[in-house]
Chain A
Amino acid sequence: MIRRLFFLACGFAASTGLVQAMTMEAGDVGPIHQFQTARSSFTLVNDTDEEVKGLKITPLRPQDRVLAAPNRIAARGNVVIDVEVDAQNDLGSRGHTFRIDFDGAAVPLLGRVSVYGLSVLHDPARVLDFDTVKAGDSPVIDYALETDDPAVRIAAIKSAPEFVTVSINPDKRGLRIRHSDKSTWGKLTGLLKIQLDSSQQKEAWIPIHTEVRGDVLPSTTNFSLGVARIGQENEYILQYRSEGKPFKLDRATLEGIDGKTTIQNCTGGDKFCQQVRMLIDGNQRSGQLNGILRTHVAGYDRDIVVLTGGLLVSKDVKIKSLDEALAAQADAPKPSPSLNQALKSMSVTEKPVEAVIPPGNGPLLRWSVDNENLLYGYAIFRADSAQGPFQRVGDIVRRSVVSKQGVVSNYAARDTGAVVGKEYWYRIAMFYSDGKREFLTEPQHVKVKEGGVENSAAK
């Protein structure tokens, strides 16, 4: 993947007024399991007649590393930047970004390495949600480990959110997660980090959510700031109420978002209501705002946590409604196609994407699909029985980059590890760009023979 980067080299630009150009070829690690590291590289090409000096590459993720990088690029030359990326909790297609500084650069450039994060868990995006919990209660969630490889075990609990206690089941294939009866009130989220006994993945992070309802309730535990504006005073009010018992908030703080808070009585002298007025600082870093509002209830000695966030953008940015834009487009008069256009559209036939047949011996699996634009790729899964467990054999076959909706793509993959004389059940799995995995086909039974297979009906 080639990305063209332009930069302003001040000294050069001062004399010529030109903008120098540099080309970046991004690295691509491909599929790796979460918490694995992999080496990759990206290339920087100096397209100008001036030498680039003082080159410095810095990973934006603290776990990533630059292994080797020269500090200059000759005129019309190129350099390869060797890096190591740590997938951490990446699921699906993710980018690992590196900041590129050099002498005279007006703004840093960015280099990138792509990763497709896999998990040994069947449903790695699953959230363990206690939903609504009455303060003082301690409900339990039992979590069963679901993996392709039945040998994977939970080795240890690395860390857990403070509102739960976690124990590992005796078979090390499950967890018992108990909600604390003394937890903070409000919307609580956290990650349960477990160490896995697996050759593929050493760790897994499981999100846990809960909403604890005490005697004092905020009007929402998920407070949207919507669109806040740079340079403006962005004011919000969140009310807290109790049922039949006066209360007092004595502390309110914003965490993760710059702003001020003031505790006020609600209008009308309602003694069962107080409110927090928030003034979001319009001069903080623009873009995404994500944080919490933490208030303390005197008498109960409990904090209430409310998730808070939104977007901070310039005053003049107009955020249009996509719904309205689509409606306007639909209402707009359509130009009548000319006869030539109509004939042209009729004569265009999209050719299917042909499969590349892998060399070697072993069962050759071939499949054809349409509407694959949300997919990253496919893989063969094999089992010794129709019921499984099915385990991946071979690499992930990347989706064709030229595939289009409505055009059939053909694929092929070979199981070179199959043993002649054995019977197997095969399925094709599809991997979505967001990391989700689903089976595309039902199990199909074959007996492996020299030079081919003996098929039976799909089961």
Chain B
Amino acid sequence: MNFKKTMVAVAAQLLLVGGAYAQTCTPTAGVLNDGTGTINVNTCSSTNQLLSACNGLDAIGASPDTIYSVQIGAAATGSIGATPTGYDLKLALLQGTCTAGSTCIRDADNAGAGGAESFSVAGLPAGGYFVLLTSFGGSPDCGATSLTVTPLMPVTLQNFSIN
């Protein structure tokens, strides 16, 4: 099957004929502007698609890759986080639906198995991105995962003293 994608002059919008999605590249709103919440997904139902992430520096083995498209609106300030069950999650935000390339513009892989990962989207240009849920590897390398979009919760200083 041949599906055709055409970019026309002064491209403000990506036209994808036969693509899996169509997104505007200048959104005024998106999940982090007017929608937050949690979805539950089992990443084991996905298949391995990416051999590496984040400029090829981070090998992610043969783990299943669950990919969502996401609209991030202008001046979004929230965070995207995910909590895996029993496996070591790598969470990344990739460019790719409005700007060229699929480099990791944000990523998180700090906690071990079962540990929650999250990143902020503050400062990102409005547009369409991919959210990637995968794993560095190991076994299990997938499982039930809650993916959460939350509004900005700044680090809050409760107390500071010097003795």
Contacts and interface: CB of A to CB of B under 8 A. Distances in A.
Nearest to A19: B139
For this complex, into which size category does the number of interface residues on chain A fall?
35 or more
A378 to B, nearest CB: 10
Main secondary structure of the interface of A (DSSP, over half): strand
B112 A366 contact: no
Contact of A309 (B5, B20, B31, B96): B96
Given A3-B113, A310-B96, A319-B130, A368 B20 contact: no
Contacts of A306: 100
A290 B94 CA distance: 12
A219 B58 CA distance: 33
Contacts of A223: 7, 100
A17 interface: no
B162 A317 contact: no
Contacts of A363: 162-163
A356 interface: no
A226 B163 contact: no
Interface of B: 1-11, 14, 16, 19-21, 25, 30-31, 35-39, 46-47, 49-53, 55-59, 61-62, 67-71, 79, 81, 88, 94-103, 106, 108-113, 115-116, 118-120, 130-131, 136-140, 147, 149-150, 153-163
Nearest to B161: A366
Contact of A401 (B36, B115, B161): B115
Contacts of B153: 371, 405
Contact of B79 (A24, A327, A374): A374
User: Lowest 4 CB-CB distances: which A-B pairs, in order?
Assistant: A309-B101, A287-B50, A307-B100, A368-B158
B155 to A, nearest CB: 5
Contact of A311 (B55, B94, B149): B94
A93 B160 contact: no
A320 interface: yes
B11 A226 contact: no
Interface in A288-313: 288-290, 306-311, 313
A48 to B, nearest CB: 14
Contacts of A3: 88, 112-113, 136-138
A237 interface: yes
B159 A368 contact: yes
A416 interface: no
B56 A288 contact: yes
Given A364-B163, A368-B159, 8 more contacts: A288-B52, A308-B100, A310-B100, A323-B71, A326-B31, A364-B162, A440-B157, A452-B163
A234 B3 contact: yes
A367 interface: yes
B44 to A, nearest CB: 14
A367 B157 contact: yes
A119 B163 CA distance: 30
B157 A326 contact: no
Contact of A60 (B9, B16, B59, B94): B59
Given A288-B56, A321-B68, A232 B101 contact: no
Interface of A: 1-6, 21, 24, 26, 60-61, 93-95, 97, 99, 107, 109-110, 112, 114, 219-220, 222-227, 229, 232-239, 241, 285-290, 306-311, 313-314, 317-323, 325-327, 329-330, 363-376, 401, 405, 408, 426, 428, 430, 432-434, 440-441, 444, 446, 452-453, 455, 458
A453 B96 contact: no
A446 B155 contact: no
Nearest to B50: A287
Contacts of A458: 160
Contacts of B46: 317
A317 B65 CA distance: 10
A114 B110 CA distance: 8
A24 B138 contact: yes
Nearest to B106: A434
The winner among B3, B94, B138, B147 for most chain A CB atoms within 10 A is B138
Contact of B102 (A24, A310, A325, A373): A310
B16 to A, nearest CB: 6
Given A310-B96, A311-B96, A441-B160, A5 B139 contact: yes
A322 B36 CA distance: 10
A226 B5 contact: yes
